[in-house]
A = this chain, B = another copy of it.
Amino acid sequence: MHYNKQRVNQSSKQAWVDNNLFLNMASVNKDLVKERKSATFDKELLTEILYNGKEGVKRRRYLQNIAIQDPYLKSLTPWWNRDRETHYDIALKKAVYLNQLMEKMNITAPIDMFILREAAACQENNPLGLHQVMFIPTIEKQGTKEQIEKFLPPARAMKYIGTYAQTELGHGTFIRGLETTATYDPKTEEFIINSPTLTSMKYWPGSLGKTSNHVILMAQLHSQGKNHGIHAFVVQIRSLEDHRPLPGITVGDIGNKLGYEGMDNGFLMFNNVRVPRDAMLMRYSRVERDGTYVPPKNAKIAYGSMVFIRAMIVGDMGRSLAQASVIAIRYSAVRRQTEIRPGGEEPQVIDYQTQQEKLFPLLAASYAYIFMGYHMAVEYFRVTAEIERGNMEEMQSLHALAAGLKALSSDLASSGVDRLRVSCGGHGYSLASGLPKIFTNITPAMTYEGENTVMYLQCARYLIKMYAQVASGQQLSGFISYLSNKPRPHSGVNEALKLEDLIELYEHAASRLIQGVAMKMQSLMKSGKPEEVARNMCSVQMVQASKVREVIPWKL
């Protein structure tokens, strides 16, 4: 063995440099130029439709250019060649740098901050992100005036760096199952935070592994011998002096994942750690000094923001699918493969119908989900306004729609991005293509903010309930009105189908699937099965009825 690590690395590092120089010399590929010239639509107009008109596009480009031209951001190691330690290191440096930059430039609108972070490739890799979108807002929303005054100034000054610790090793979507306890001790006016089992270990929260010194802790509140359910607590976990875990606390990074290299997802255990009474966020419910529990007036406080986040995922999935589509389509224009005529030139792979069948339906789907995301945002604000006026009518419908679309869009985006990756042959496997990163970045969306199968089932339960109303003669409105529709007769399979016909047929298929599963459910219960058993026996069809997509043979 003539192996010498240092020498090997020297030679390959030199070669890397040479190689990159070589790549930088390349001009724009002629096939790409040709394809771009042959577009039959107004690209600028489409961009304006996607990004909020002329002004929106102008602002977007201005912000993107700041990130792209920035000498500091340019100087960082390219992300496809980092190890995980470097990933985290750079992610944190970037997050701090961008915070300072935005403060200096007075960039404060959320959309502007989003664009700038996106252009700086800092979306996923932002260890300070949860501090800003979860830690601070939870204190603002659920804290009393005194708590806000106590916690917010050090949080804003980044003296407290926090995250949101909800998920446990053994508990995810079913939040009532969380095991971490906060038991009130009236003698000392403290809560005792404890992790009673291995499965109660907090597991997965981002920014917990290394970054945070505080958490919003979701725990079962016990007082006067009773369990009052899940409540939020502000708990310090690491020293403000030397960042070591405080006594009784075990905390660290959960290790490598399929992606999210820049994020320090962590674990956290408590061994009877005492925190003051005002650690519990008490705007809506509270524990008195003597231990008396005062419940919230409205139990559905967290409900709205959960629906909002799910609705937002729909558009995110569309944008990720769009990114991957752009990469795969550009590759397909540039890559040439296999002569069609013996001895002829190798054609661009985009000219193969098998390649087109991989690319174009997913490109179309990305538009569908991007626009669906905008629609969901509008619906969310409309229905929320209604709810605030006391009209709860559409709350359930919005919840079901957000659950179903969150699942469907993340399902399709995850498998679709992977399909686009594979459509680029070996190069899709290289991190340099960007495709693995998009995949590993979005595939967790199938699990987070509500596991997809649970989401499909929630959507199906709502649809079955609505179908029962149709069966009892009611006319439905809104997005589920198709359940009331009778299909028009069609003259036969050779009829030229218009888009309206296709939608109608799709709705009819969806309606039939719901009808089928509703009838199966009824018949099982008539035959004596308990409801929960009957529902389990119908659950596969319920998921299929939610998606519909899978039962259409020529599927996406």
A252 lies within 8 A of B16 (CB): yes
Query: A256: CB under 8 A from chain B?
Result: yes
B539 lies within 8 A of A11 (CB): no
B454 lies within 8 A of A429 (CB): no
Give every chain B residue within 8 A of A3 (Cβ-Cβ). Answer: 92, 96, 211, 243
Give the distance in Å from the alpha carbon of A451 to the alpha carbon of B552 in the complex.
Answer: 27
Over the window 232-258 of chain A, the binary record of Cβ atoms lying under 8 Å from chain B Cβ atoms (1 yes, 0 no) is: 000000101011110000111111111
Give every chain B residue within 8 A of A552 (Cβ-Cβ). Answer: 553
Q: List 23 A-B contacts (CB under 8 A).
A: A1-B96, A2-B213, A3-B96, A11-B210, A12-B210, A12-B253, A26-B198, A80-B255, A83-B83, A172-B337, A172-B425, A174-B337, A174-B339, A177-B339, A203-B426, A258-B421, A258-B439, A354-B457, A354-B543, A414-B422, A428-B447, A429-B444, A429-B447
Give the distance in Å from the alpha carbon of A171 to the alpha carbon of B335 in the complex.
Answer: 9
Give every chain B residue within 8 A of A49 (Cβ-Cβ). Answer: none
Determine which of B174, B242, B254 lies in contact with A7 in the assembled complex, contact meaning CB atoms within 8 Å. Answer: B242
Query: A270: CB under 8 A from chain B?
Result: no
Shortest CB distance A432–B (Å): 6
Give every chain B residue within 8 A of A84 (Cβ-Cβ). Answer: 83
A residues contacting B by CB (< 8 A) are 1-5, 7-16, 18-19, 22-23, 26, 80-85, 89, 92, 96, 158-159, 161, 167, 170-174, 176-177, 198, 203-204, 209-211, 213, 238, 240, 242-245, 250-259, 264, 266-267, 335-341, 346, 351-355, 357, 414-415, 418, 421-422, 425-426, 428-432, 436, 439-440, 443-444, 446-448, 451-454, 457, 530, 532, 536-537, 539-540, 543, 550-555
Give the distance in Å from the alpha carbon of A254 to the alpha carbon of B430 in the complex.
Answer: 8
A426 lies within 8 A of B454 (CB): no
Shortest CB distance A229–B (Å): 13
Determine which of B1, B244, B352, B429 lies in contact with A158 in the assembled complex, contact meaning CB atoms within 8 Å. Answer: B1
Give the distance in Å from the alpha carbon of A336 to the alpha carbon of B530 in the complex.
Answer: 21
Give every chain B residue within 8 A of A446 (Cβ-Cβ). Answer: 422
Determine which of B7, B16, B425, B436 lies in contact with A243 in the assembled complex, contact meaning CB atoms within 8 Å. Answer: B7
Known: A84-B83, A436-B258. A453 touches B11 (CB 8 A): no
A252 lies within 8 A of B14 (CB): yes
Give the distance in Å from the alpha carbon of A352 to the alpha carbon of B533 in the complex.
Answer: 10
A177 lies within 8 A of B551 (CB): no
A336 lies within 8 A of B170 (CB): yes
Give every chain B residue within 8 A of A238 (Cβ-Cβ). Answer: 11
Give every chain B residue within 8 A of A536 (Cβ-Cβ). Answer: 340, 351-353
Give every chain B residue within 8 A of A555 (Cβ-Cβ). Answer: 550
Give every chain B residue within 8 A of A337 (Cβ-Cβ). Answer: 171-174, 177
Shortest CB distance A4–B (Å): 6
Give every chain B residue within 8 A of A204 (Cβ-Cβ). Answer: 426
A9 lies within 8 A of B210 (CB): yes
Give the distance in Å from the alpha carbon of A11 to the alpha carbon of B247 in the complex.
Answer: 12
Q: Give A203's nearest chain B residue, CB to CB.
A: B426
Give the distance in Å from the alpha carbon of A447 to the alpha carbon of B425 in the complex.
Answer: 6
A252 lies within 8 A of B13 (CB): yes
B443 lies within 8 A of A422 (CB): yes
Give every chain B residue within 8 A of A452 (Cβ-Cβ). Answer: 422
Give every chain B residue within 8 A of A422 (Cβ-Cβ). Answer: 414, 443, 446-447, 452
A15 lies within 8 A of B250 (CB): yes
Shortest CB distance A169–B (Å): 8
Give every chain B residue within 8 A of A425 (Cβ-Cβ). Answer: 172-173, 447, 451
Give every chain B residue within 8 A of A339 (Cβ-Cβ). Answer: 174, 176-177
Give every chain B residue within 8 A of A13 (Cβ-Cβ). Answer: 252
A177 lies within 8 A of B96 (CB): no
Q: Give A177's nearest chain B residue, CB to CB.
A: B346
Known: A238-B11, A353-B536, A422-B447. A19 touches B174 (CB 8 A): no
Shortest CB distance A422–B (Å): 5
Give the distance in Å from the alpha carbon of A10 to the alpha carbon of B257 in the complex.
Answer: 20
Determine which of B167, B243, B431, B539 lies in contact with A352 in the assembled complex, contact meaning CB atoms within 8 Å. Answer: B539
A346 lies within 8 A of B543 (CB): no
Give every chain B residue within 8 A of A213 (Cβ-Cβ). Answer: 2
Give every chain B residue within 8 A of A352 (Cβ-Cβ). Answer: 536, 539
